[in-house]
Structure 1
Amino acid sequence: MIIRRYLVWATTATASQRAAAADVLVRAYHQSPLTDADRVDIDKALIGLASDSSPMVRAALVEAFKASAAIPMPVFEALLAAGDTAAMTLLADSRAVSSAQLVDCVAVGDPASHRRIAGREGLPAQVSAALAEVASLDGLMALLANDTAVISQSALQRMFDRHGHSPALQSALLGRQELPPFMRHALMSFLCERLADYTVDRGWLSPARAGALQVEAGDMATMALVAEASDETLERLVSHLIASGELTVGLLLRSLLCAEPRLLTIALAKLTGTPRGAIEAARGIPGRAAFEATYQRAGLPGGLLAAFHAALDALDKLPPPMRRKDGHLSLMMVRHVIAACEDMPSTAAGPLLALLERFAEEAQATQGAIDPSPAASPLYANWTAAPAVHPQALAA
């Protein structure tokens, strides 16, 4: 009865009076015991306020619902239909709007509403997923800039699938901590490619030299990801590397020389269909005949098998304190492999030794100062280190 009187009163009330009534109606909707008839009447009253011609009234209604537990769907739709500041405020921070309502709004909303929703504090994963499917690049950038938004890996992948060509989106994706390693690798590959193309376009490097540096930079970045990855995420990364053609024998050798054998183990398991445990067991069998058989089944080049044997030997001898697992090459291990490969036939040894020498220079630059001398540490009592190999020694 009271609500019906309000409906009659509202036909002659001023805009300021109707705005003042909004808070009373919202509190009555949530707090007062209502009959079914009263519930129908108050719904009509709230829809009337949501459809009011006065922006002042709609803004007052949004403010009244701002801290409430829920907003009726017809009222929500009526407010959105106006498309004004009040509607945007409702989307941006009203707690009354449910996740389901936000998902519906994403489906039918415009770029402005998408940006408002993307910036909501504590945005749920299902709403982020909806935005990932339909939002424009600007909307996705707003979502990625929202540190409180929960974004699933599948939603991140969908953004990359839709707008991965955008450098701005690539940079924003790299800023998300939850970005899986295989996606981070793909984005870093794009970055390395763009940098290589830029140096060639400017005439700073030849295409061949830029390509070589691109590969080396990509492999260094990959090992940084490998060092931080769990076994599960590393398996996805290896699958990505195989599918993209970026799992090279040079990267596998680098992984051993970084004291990180998981990459090689998982790669051999995927390439041969052998259980990972069997691969790990094969590495420990004296003579490494079982490892050699697995290596050959994986289709890896036989000419580099000696380098892998030497790297595995070096890894076995490497004292635990030196297994830093930081993705950096171990200078001691690289020198050990160089010494083991110097007696190989020159046709096979030339490119390999050139690669190993680049590894040695990189290791010297990044961590040579913190690699203790065998003579200075009792940890290396059983280590036979090879002497440093100078660049001119490989010139031939």
Structure 2
Amino acid sequence: MTAVTSFHHRTTLSDIDIERLVRSENADDRAVATHKICRVMERGRLGDTDRAAAQEIIRMLAQDAAELVRRALAVTLRTSELLPHDVAMKLAQDVVTVSVPLLTFSPIFSDEDLADIIRSGGPVRQIAVAKRETLSEVVTTALADNGVEEAAVIACANDNARFTEGGMNRVMDRFGTSEVLHSVLVNRKTLPVSVSERLINVVSASLREQLIAHHAIKPETAVEIVTAARERATLDMADQAGASFDPQGLASHLMASGRLTPSLILRALARGHMPFFEHALSELSGVPHERTWLMVHDAGSLGLRAIYDRAGLPGRMFQTFRMAVETYHTLQAEAGHLDPIRMQERLIERFLTQVPFAPREDLIYLYERLDRDSQGRLWAKSPEKSANDLLKAA
């Protein structure tokens, strides 16, 4: 009561507001008074004395038996730094109409507070936290480990929610079959390479089931088609990543998942992803990247052959890889000033005129790449026909 009277004398609050707050037995009246008093507190420039008095009033209001009053307090001060931390934590455990506004907006909670609430607060509170404008890795990790699917999806849809690679993979572990999650992750600005690869695999598995169920294709054939589609998607992802592309991370992930295939490596090399080629050889051979780089670029064909054999790649394909590396070096010396898209086009063109012994499916794939302009649109109306015609001409 003393705090209310003291605060009243130094603000624009009316006697009626104070009377409603202190003496009214009507919850609606007290809620209206609470809203007005909290607005005055929030808008006023409070010194230390007034701030202490205001926070004492807030503590009193937080103990009101009427949910309507506590909700008025929570909604009005949901973005305020005036709310005492102990009151915020108390209201976070209140009924959902009181707790949700604060959990969604209040700056008073620390990352550790929010993580604890996620672990113990139940689905409604988890979803409220997930809707915050920004989320730290501490909070998203708690959501990844403990949150319900809706909370995890909401956080993943927010590019201002920072995830560790482990946290994002944990979300995939728990909710990896959710098509809504797939859509949300695909539309994030950035994704860890390992998560991108897992998404590609999920889509590929779905495609495999459709091919077998609806088109009477043998499972072995479906696997081959899906594998090719996966490799194309992986390299398209590398192209689109631009400056954020992590060739070492991608090579390491593909190695760990058993998908660092000769075909994928050749296609990547022919598209100009030399750092990925180096890291792929390093992963397969167990030779450090620095030494692998020297054997590819500074030791001539004998060095390339040595690291190639150490990596266990097929001997029949060595001449194809050797000519791809030589083509890359030559074009770098001649036209290193070209932008990445044009450089890739020139590299594929030059490679295809010099390499007659690459596997047929890889040549078709590279011809199809040449059919695309810089925006990814197809010049040819029928890419399969165009690719095969070019292959016959070659």
Length-normalised TM-score, structure 2: 0.78
CA shift in 2, pair 1:169/1:231, >3 Å: closer
Partner of 1:237: 250
Q: State the partner residue of 2:183.
A: 171
Q: What is the letter of the counterpart of residue 27 of structure 1?
A: M
Contact 1:335 1:389 in 2 (8 A): no
Distance 1:256 1:263 in 2: 8
Report the alpha carbon displacement of residue 335 of structure 1 after superposing the two structures with TM: 3.5
Structure-2 residue corresponding to 1:54? 66
Counterpart-to-counterpart distance in 2, 1:244 and 1:325: 32
Give every structure 1 segment of 4 or more consecutive aligned residues whose post-TM-superposition deviation is greater than 4 Å: 4-7, 229-232, 325-329
Q: What amino acid is the match of 1:276?
A: H
**Which of 287, 299, 313 does residue 312 from structure 2 map onto?**
299
- How far apart in 2 are the matches of 1:10 and 1:106? 36
**Displacement, 1:156?**
1.6
User: Are 1:313 and 2:326 counterparts?
Assistant: yes
Contact 1:223 1:327 in 2 (8 A): no
Distance in 2 between residues matched to 1:137 and 1:109, nearest whole Å: 15
Give the C-alpha shift of residue 389 in structure 1: 4.2
- 2: CA distance between counterparts of 1:267 and 1:175? 28
Could you tell me which residue of structure 2 aligns to residue 225 of structure 1? 237
**Match for 1:324 among 341, 345, 348?**
341
Do the aligned partners of 2:119 and 2:147 also contact (CA within 8 Å) in 1? no
Residue pair 2:140, 2:162 contacting (<8 A) in 1 also: yes
- The one-letter code of the counterpart of 2:279 is I
- Cα 1:42–1:281 change in 2 (3 A) is closer
1:346 aligns with none
Could you list the per-position Cα deviations for residues 336-363 of structure 1 after superposition, in whole angstroms to 9, with x for gaps in the alignment?
111xx3xxxxxxxxxx543344335423
Contact 1:331 1:363 in 2 (8 A): no
1:280 paired residue number = 293
> Which residue is 1:355 aligned to?
361
Match of 2:372 in 1: 366
Quick one: distance in 2 between partners of 1:326 and 1:205?
A: 38
Which residue matches 1:142? 154
Residues 1:250 and 2:263 are matched in the alignment = yes
Q: In structure 1, list runs of 5 or more residues that go unmatched.
A: 342-351, 371-386
Q: Distance between the aligned counterparts of 1:322 and 1:33, measured in 2? A: 60
What is the identity, as a one-letter code, of the residue corresponding to 2:372? T
2:280 is the counterpart of 1:267 = yes
Stretches of structure 2 that go unaligned for 5 or more consecutive residues are 6-17, 377-388
Amino acid at match of 1:198: Q
Match in the other structure for 2:3: 3
Seen in structure 2, the aligned counterparts of structure 1 residues 204 and 229 have a Cα distance that, compared at 3 Å, is farther
Counting matched residue pairs gives 359
User: Is 1:31 the counterpart of 2:49 in the alignment?
Assistant: no
Q: Is the 8 Å Cα contact of residues 159 and 189 (structure 2) preserved in structure 1? A: no
Shift of 1:75: 1.8
Q: Deviations over 1:68-102 (max 9, x none)?
A: 21533432243233313232122222344444432
The 5 Å alignment of 1:328-343 reads: 330-338=348-356, 341=357
Tell me: higher relative CO, structure 1 or 2? Use CA pairs within 8 A at least 6 residues apart.
1
Partners of 2:147 and 2:207 lie apart in 1 by: 29
For residue 191 of structure 1, report the CA deviation from its aligned partner.
Answer: 0.7
Backbone CA RMSD of aligned residues: 3.6
SS in 2 for 1:366: coil
Within-5 A mapping of 1:80-91: 80-91=92-103
CA contact (8 A) 1:292 1:305 kept: yes
Distance across 2 between alignment mates of 1:68 and 1:285: 62
Compare 134-143 and 66-75 and name the one that shifted more.
Answer: 66-75
Cα deviation, residue 140, structure 1: 0.9
The 8 Å contact of residues 77 and 83 in structure 2, kept in 1 or not, is answered as yes
Deviation per CA, 1:289-318, whole angstroms, max 9, x where unpaired?
Answer: 011011111111212112111222222333
Q: Percent identity?
A: 25
Residues 54, 277 of structure 1: alpha-carbon distance in 2 compared, 3 angstrom cutoff:
same
- Preserved contact between residue 220 and residue 327 of structure 1 (Cα < 8 Å): no
